[in-house]
């Protein structure tokens, strides 16, 4: 085929496509789209949580150049802008979906400290007092327009959260809540169960400490680990598992 513009000849290539139903193969033309590929790059960074600096990595730039020389790799600020556009679009779709949905929402919230905040939904400024927590949560509910669509909120069983709930109810329209908000506060059953277990474990804390110290000693070096396995074999202890130090918070 003859092309009037040399750029068209470079953009259009033949690609092989397989029919998922009958397995037949066909050849179709593919035309490169800079905007579409930029969007794919941004979604890749979001999905796999790659750093924005990936577009500055030498090997990545060379890989992209060899894979598709026509793609103009963006700088990190442009990549950040593309990611924020995707967020805005997804947020708009979510708002429309929740507005059409007549059901109520049960939410849960928790606080943790993170160095990069990449997994956090909302940044909470210090100090994390009951007033700050209530204000941030109300702002979030209003931002997503779900303050009148709530059923319950589940939080950890602590005194700070008890006061926060009272402040939250003062800021919300209780007439829009079920039973005037009397069932609004739900205490996390997992957290309560953990408190019960920790209270019970405290009775045998000395024995647990000895076990942990023994495990730490045995796995402290390859020689000790090997000696432990030899002793277990000598005592005919049949086990394929290894000693693992438990995590206290789990």
Confidence (pLDDT) at 21: 67
Confidence (pLDDT) at 16: 64
- pLDDT exceeds 70 at position 105: yes
> Tens digit of pLDDT for each residue in 76-91?
999 999 999 999 999 9
For helices 34-48 and 76-100, what crossing angle results, to 10°? 80
Dihedral sign (CA 40, 42, 46, 49): positive
Confidence (pLDDT) at 11: 53
Instruction: Quote the mean pLDDT of the chain.
Output: 86
Beta bridge partner(s), residue 31: 12
> Tens digit of pLDDT for each residue in 165-184?
999 999 999 899 999 889 99
CA geometry: angle 44, 66, 60, nearest 5 deg: 45
% of the chain exceeding 90 in pLDDT: 53
- pLDDT band (50, 70, 90) for residue 57: very high
Averaged over 186-214, what is the pLDDT? Answer: 90
- Bridging pattern class, strands 12-18 and 25-31: antiparallel
Confidence (pLDDT) at 128: 86
Dihedral sign (CA 170, 174, 177, 183): positive
Confidence (pLDDT) at 1: 47
């Amino acid at each position: 085929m003859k092309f009037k513009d040399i750029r068209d000849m470079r953009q259009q290539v033949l690609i092989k496509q397989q029919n998922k139903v009958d397995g037949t193969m066909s050849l179709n033309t593919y035309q490169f789209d800079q905007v579409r590929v930029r969007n794919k790059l941004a979604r890749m960074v979001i999905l796999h949580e790659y750093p924005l600096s990936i577009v500055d990595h030498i090997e990545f730039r060379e890989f992209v150049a060899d894979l598709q020389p026509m793609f103009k790799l963006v700088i990190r600020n442009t990549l950040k802008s593309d990611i924020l556009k995707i967020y805005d679009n997804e947020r708009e779709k979510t708002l429309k979906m929740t507005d059409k949905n007549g059901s109520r929402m049960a939410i849960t919230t928790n606080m943790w400290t993170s160095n990069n905040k990449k997994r956090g939904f909302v940044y909470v400024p210090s100090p994390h007092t009951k007033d700050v927590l209530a204000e941030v949560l109300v702002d979030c509910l209003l931002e997503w327009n779900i303050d009148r669509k709530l059923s319950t909120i589940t939080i950890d069983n602590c005194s700070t959260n008890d006061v926060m709930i009272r402040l939250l109810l003062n800021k919300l329209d209780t007439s829009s809540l079920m039973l005037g908000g009397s069932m609004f506060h739900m205490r996390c059953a997992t957290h309560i169960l953990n408190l019960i277990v920790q209270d019970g474990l405290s009775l045998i804390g000395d024995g647990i400490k000895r076990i942990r110290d023994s495990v730490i000693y045995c796995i402290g070096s390859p020689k000790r680990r090997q000696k432990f396995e030899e002793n277990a074999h000598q005592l005919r202890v049949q086990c394929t598992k290894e000693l693992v130090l438990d995590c206290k918070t789990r």
